[in-house]
Structure 1
Amino acid sequence: MTEIILIFILVMSIFAFFVMGYDKSQAKKHKQRISENTLWTLAIFGGGIGAYIGMQFFRHKTKHTNFRVGFLMLLILYVFLIFWLLQKDSPILT
Protein backbone atom coordinates (compact mmCIF):
# COMPACT_ATOMS: atom_id res chain seq x y z
CA MET A 1 0.00 0.00 0.00
CA THR A 2 2.84 2.39 0.84
CA GLU A 3 4.38 1.98 -2.59
CA ILE A 4 1.08 2.83 -4.26
CA ILE A 5 0.74 6.03 -2.23
CA LEU A 6 4.34 7.05 -2.94
CA ILE A 7 3.95 6.35 -6.66
CA PHE A 8 0.71 8.34 -6.68
CA ILE A 9 2.43 11.32 -5.04
CA LEU A 10 5.33 11.05 -7.50
CA VAL A 11 3.06 10.90 -10.56
CA MET A 12 0.84 13.73 -9.34
CA SER A 13 3.88 15.87 -8.51
CA ILE A 14 5.40 15.35 -11.95
CA PHE A 15 2.06 16.15 -13.57
CA ALA A 16 1.57 19.27 -11.41
CA PHE A 17 5.10 20.44 -12.26
CA PHE A 18 4.40 20.23 -15.99
CA VAL A 19 0.96 21.82 -15.63
CA MET A 20 2.60 24.80 -13.91
CA GLY A 21 5.04 25.07 -16.82
CA TYR A 22 2.24 24.77 -19.37
CA ASP A 23 0.18 27.44 -17.64
CA LYS A 24 3.18 29.79 -17.54
CA SER A 25 3.73 29.19 -21.26
CA GLN A 26 0.07 29.90 -21.98
CA ALA A 27 0.23 33.07 -19.88
CA LYS A 28 3.18 34.38 -21.89
CA LYS A 29 1.29 33.75 -25.13
CA HIS A 30 -1.94 35.28 -23.78
CA LYS A 31 -3.77 32.04 -24.56
CA GLN A 32 -6.27 29.96 -22.60
CA ARG A 33 -4.96 29.18 -19.13
CA ILE A 34 -5.35 26.49 -16.51
CA SER A 35 -7.74 27.70 -13.81
CA GLU A 36 -6.38 28.46 -10.37
CA ASN A 37 -8.89 25.96 -8.95
CA THR A 38 -7.33 23.24 -11.11
CA LEU A 39 -3.82 24.18 -9.96
CA TRP A 40 -4.96 24.01 -6.34
CA THR A 41 -6.75 20.70 -6.89
CA LEU A 42 -3.62 19.14 -8.38
CA ALA A 43 -1.50 20.47 -5.53
CA ILE A 44 -3.86 19.30 -2.80
CA PHE A 45 -4.49 15.83 -4.22
CA GLY A 46 -0.94 14.59 -4.40
CA GLY A 47 0.92 17.17 -6.47
CA GLY A 48 1.99 19.59 -3.75
CA ILE A 49 5.70 18.95 -4.16
CA GLY A 50 5.66 19.27 -7.95
CA ALA A 51 3.40 22.30 -7.86
CA TYR A 52 5.74 24.15 -5.50
CA ILE A 53 8.86 23.18 -7.45
CA GLY A 54 7.13 24.13 -10.71
CA MET A 55 6.06 27.47 -9.26
CA GLN A 56 9.67 28.24 -8.35
CA PHE A 57 11.26 26.75 -11.49
CA PHE A 58 8.94 28.50 -13.95
CA ARG A 59 8.54 31.61 -11.75
CA HIS A 60 4.82 31.22 -12.05
CA LYS A 61 2.31 32.51 -9.47
CA THR A 62 5.19 33.63 -7.25
CA LYS A 63 3.64 37.06 -6.72
CA HIS A 64 0.45 35.51 -5.34
CA THR A 65 0.80 35.16 -1.58
CA ASN A 66 -1.86 32.45 -1.39
CA PHE A 67 0.11 30.30 -3.86
CA ARG A 68 3.49 30.98 -2.24
CA VAL A 69 2.30 30.17 1.25
CA GLY A 70 -0.23 27.49 0.34
CA PHE A 71 2.04 25.54 -1.99
CA LEU A 72 4.88 25.76 0.55
CA MET A 73 2.57 24.36 3.25
CA LEU A 74 1.55 21.54 0.93
CA LEU A 75 5.20 20.83 0.10
CA ILE A 76 6.00 20.53 3.80
CA LEU A 77 2.93 18.36 4.40
CA TYR A 78 3.81 15.95 1.58
CA VAL A 79 7.48 15.75 2.61
CA PHE A 80 6.39 14.83 6.14
CA LEU A 81 3.90 12.32 4.74
CA ILE A 82 6.59 10.69 2.63
CA PHE A 83 9.00 10.46 5.58
CA TRP A 84 6.23 9.06 7.76
CA LEU A 85 5.35 6.45 5.14
CA LEU A 86 8.97 5.41 4.85
CA GLN A 87 9.39 4.85 8.59
CA LYS A 88 9.72 1.17 9.51
CA ASP A 89 7.24 1.52 12.36
CA SER A 90 4.62 3.24 10.25
CA PRO A 91 1.21 1.65 10.89
CA ILE A 92 0.43 1.96 7.20
CA LEU A 93 3.18 -0.55 6.36
CA THR A 94 1.41 -3.38 8.16
Structure 2
Amino acid sequence: MLSLFYALLTINFLAFLLIGYDKYLAKNYKRRISEKTLLSFTFFGGTIGSGLSMLIFRHKIAKRSYLFKFWTIVIIQILVLF
Protein backbone atom coordinates (compact mmCIF):
# COMPACT_ATOMS: atom_id res chain seq x y z
CA MET A 1 0.00 0.00 0.00
CA LEU A 2 2.83 2.37 0.84
CA SER A 3 4.47 1.54 -2.50
CA LEU A 4 1.32 2.62 -4.33
CA PHE A 5 1.34 5.90 -2.42
CA TYR A 6 4.94 6.62 -3.40
CA ALA A 7 4.29 5.59 -7.01
CA LEU A 8 1.32 7.98 -7.27
CA LEU A 9 3.28 10.72 -5.51
CA THR A 10 6.10 10.30 -8.03
CA ILE A 11 3.76 10.29 -11.03
CA ASN A 12 1.99 13.42 -9.78
CA PHE A 13 5.31 15.17 -9.17
CA LEU A 14 6.52 14.27 -12.66
CA ALA A 15 3.22 15.38 -14.23
CA PHE A 16 3.51 18.69 -12.38
CA LEU A 17 7.07 19.19 -13.60
CA LEU A 18 6.27 18.19 -17.18
CA ILE A 19 3.45 20.70 -17.56
CA GLY A 20 5.60 23.41 -15.99
CA TYR A 21 8.46 22.54 -18.33
CA ASP A 22 6.11 22.52 -21.33
CA LYS A 23 5.00 26.04 -20.35
CA TYR A 24 8.67 27.08 -20.22
CA LEU A 25 9.24 25.58 -23.67
CA ALA A 26 6.16 27.34 -25.03
CA LYS A 27 7.30 30.72 -23.73
CA ASN A 28 10.73 30.23 -25.30
CA TYR A 29 9.43 28.98 -28.67
CA LYS A 30 11.12 25.59 -28.29
CA ARG A 31 9.96 22.13 -29.29
CA ARG A 32 7.10 21.17 -26.97
CA ILE A 33 6.11 18.05 -25.05
CA SER A 34 3.28 16.28 -26.85
CA GLU A 35 -0.24 16.37 -25.45
CA LYS A 36 -0.24 12.59 -25.65
CA THR A 37 2.66 12.46 -23.19
CA LEU A 38 1.08 14.99 -20.84
CA LEU A 39 -2.27 13.21 -20.88
CA SER A 40 -0.58 9.83 -20.39
CA PHE A 41 0.82 11.03 -17.08
CA THR A 42 -2.65 12.24 -16.14
CA PHE A 43 -4.20 8.91 -17.12
CA PHE A 44 -1.74 6.85 -15.10
CA GLY A 45 -2.41 8.69 -11.86
CA GLY A 46 -0.96 12.17 -12.23
CA THR A 47 -4.32 13.90 -12.21
CA ILE A 48 -3.73 16.05 -9.14
CA GLY A 49 -0.23 17.07 -10.21
CA SER A 50 -1.41 17.90 -13.72
CA GLY A 51 -4.40 19.88 -12.48
CA LEU A 52 -2.38 21.89 -9.99
CA SER A 53 0.31 22.58 -12.56
CA MET A 54 -2.26 23.75 -15.10
CA LEU A 55 -3.62 26.23 -12.56
CA ILE A 56 -0.30 27.42 -11.15
CA PHE A 57 1.46 27.85 -14.49
CA ARG A 58 -1.76 28.87 -16.30
CA HIS A 59 -0.96 26.38 -19.01
CA LYS A 60 -3.40 24.48 -21.23
CA ILE A 61 -6.36 26.12 -19.51
CA ALA A 62 -7.66 27.85 -22.63
CA LYS A 63 -7.27 24.93 -25.01
CA ARG A 64 -10.68 23.29 -25.12
CA SER A 65 -9.61 20.08 -26.82
CA TYR A 66 -6.96 19.45 -24.14
CA LEU A 67 -9.37 20.29 -21.33
CA PHE A 68 -12.01 17.97 -22.77
CA LYS A 69 -9.50 15.09 -22.81
CA PHE A 70 -8.23 15.97 -19.33
CA TRP A 71 -11.72 16.04 -17.79
CA THR A 72 -12.71 12.86 -19.62
CA ILE A 73 -9.76 11.11 -17.95
CA VAL A 74 -10.75 12.56 -14.56
CA ILE A 75 -14.34 11.31 -14.92
CA ILE A 76 -13.16 7.86 -16.01
CA GLN A 77 -10.85 7.67 -12.98
CA ILE A 78 -13.68 8.68 -10.64
CA LEU A 79 -15.98 6.08 -12.15
CA VAL A 80 -13.33 3.36 -11.84
CA LEU A 81 -12.73 4.22 -8.17
CA PHE A 82 -16.42 3.87 -7.37
On whether the aligned pair clears a TM of 0.5, the verdict is yes
1:69, 1:57 → 2: CA distance?
19
| TM-score calculated relative to the size of structure 1 | 0.71
The Cα RMSD (Å) is 2.1
The structure that has the greater radius of gyration is 1
1:56, 1:72 → 2: CA distance?
14
> Residue 9 of structure 1 aligns to a residue in which SS?
helix
Q: Indicate yes or no: 2:58 matched with 1:55.
A: no
Q: Which amino acid aligns with 1:14?
A: F
Question: What is the Cα deviation at residue 48 of structure 1?
Answer: 1.1
Q: Retained in 2: the 8 A contact 1:48–1:75?
A: yes
Q: Which amino acid aligns with 1:5?
A: L
Q: Which runs of 4+ in 1 moved over 6 A?
A: none
**Count of residue pairs brought into register by the alignment:** 80
Q: Indicate yes or no: 2:15 matched with 1:46.
A: no
5+ residue gaps, structure 1, are 85-94
